[in-house]
Amino acid sequence: MSRMTAARAAVEILKKEGTTHLFGLPGAAINPFYAAMRAEAIDNDTPGLTHVLARHVEGASHMAEGYTRSEHGNIGVCIGTSGPAGTDMITGLYSASADSIPILCITGQAPVNKLHKEDFQAVDIASVARTLTKMAVTVLEPAQVPGTFQQAFHLMRSGRPGPVLIDLPIDVQMAEIEFDVDTYEPLPVYKPTATFRQIEKAMAMLRASERPLIVAGGGIINADACDLLVEFAELTGIPVVPTLMGWGAIPDAHPLNAGMVGLQTSHRYGNESMLASDFVLGIGNRWANRHTGDTETYTAGRTFIHVDIEPTQIGRVFAPAYGIVSDAKAALELFVAVAREGSHNDTLTDYREWAHACADRKSTMHRRSDFDDIPIKPQRVYQEMNAVFDKDVRYVSTIGLSQIQAAQFLRVHRPRHWINAGQAGPLGWTVPAALGVASAVPTATVVALSGDYDFQFMIEELAVGAQFNIPYIHVVVNNAYLGLIRQAQRAFDMDYHVQLSFENINAPQMNGYGVDHVRVAEGLGCKAIRVSDPAGIRPALEQAKAMLAQYRVPVVVEVILERVTNVAMGTSIDNVIEFDDIAETHTATTALANILE
CA torsion sign for 587, 589, 593, 597 is negative
Q: Which residues of the chain have pLDDT under 50?
A: 581-597
Q: Left (φ > 0), alpha (ψ -120 to 50) or beta: where does 237 sit?
A: left
CA torsion sign for 24, 30, 33, 35 is positive
Delimit the domains of the chain by residue range: 2-183, 196-364, 378-592
Query: Are residues 138 and 169 in contact, defined by beta-carbon separation less than 8 angstroms?
Result: yes
Digit-coded pLDDT (tens) for 231-284: 999 999 999 999 999 999 999 999 999 999 999 999 999 999 999 999 999 999
User: Which residues, including other chains, have CB under 8 Å from residue 506's CB and lie 6 or more apart?
Assistant: 516
Q: Which amino acid is at 469?
A: N
For domain 2-183, the CATH architecture is 3-Layer(aba) Sandwich (3.40)
- Residue among 229, 207, 288 at smallest CA distance from 573: 288
- Residue among 438, 474, 443 at smallest CA distance from 558: 474
pLDDT value for 118: 80
pLDDT value for 381: 97
Q: Name the pTM for this structure.
A: 0.94
pLDDT value for 587: 33
pLDDT value for 589: 34
pLDDT value for 349: 84
Name the CATH code of domain 196-364 (choices 3.40.50.620, 3.40.1160.10, 3.30.70.260, 3.40.50.1220).
3.40.50.1220
User: Which residues, including other chains, have CB under 8 Å from residue 537's CB and lie 6 or more apart?
Assistant: 376, 380, 381, 384, 531, 559
Between CA 440 and CA 77 the distance in angstroms is 12
**What are the Cα distances from residue 561, in Å, to 68, 398, 402, 532, 536?**
33, 19, 11, 7, 13
pLDDT value for 1: 67
pLDDT value for 154: 98
* DSSP string computed for 355-382: HHHHHHHHHH---------SSBPHHHHH
pLDDT value for 26: 96
R_g of the chain computed on alpha carbons: 25
Return the beta strands (E) in 72-221 as ranges: 76-80, 103-109, 135-138, 164-169, 176-179, 212-216
- Give 160's DSSP letter: S
pLDDT value for 580: 55
Name the CATH code of domain 378-592 (choices 3.30.360.10, 3.40.50.720, 3.10.20.30, 3.40.50.970).
3.40.50.970
Q: Which amino acid is at 445?
A: T
| Domains 2-183 and 196-364 are alike in CATH topology | yes
Digit-coded pLDDT (tens) for 275-326: 999 999 999 999 999 999 999 999 999 999 999 999 999 999 999 999 999 9
Phi, psi of 27 (to 5 degrees): -170, 170
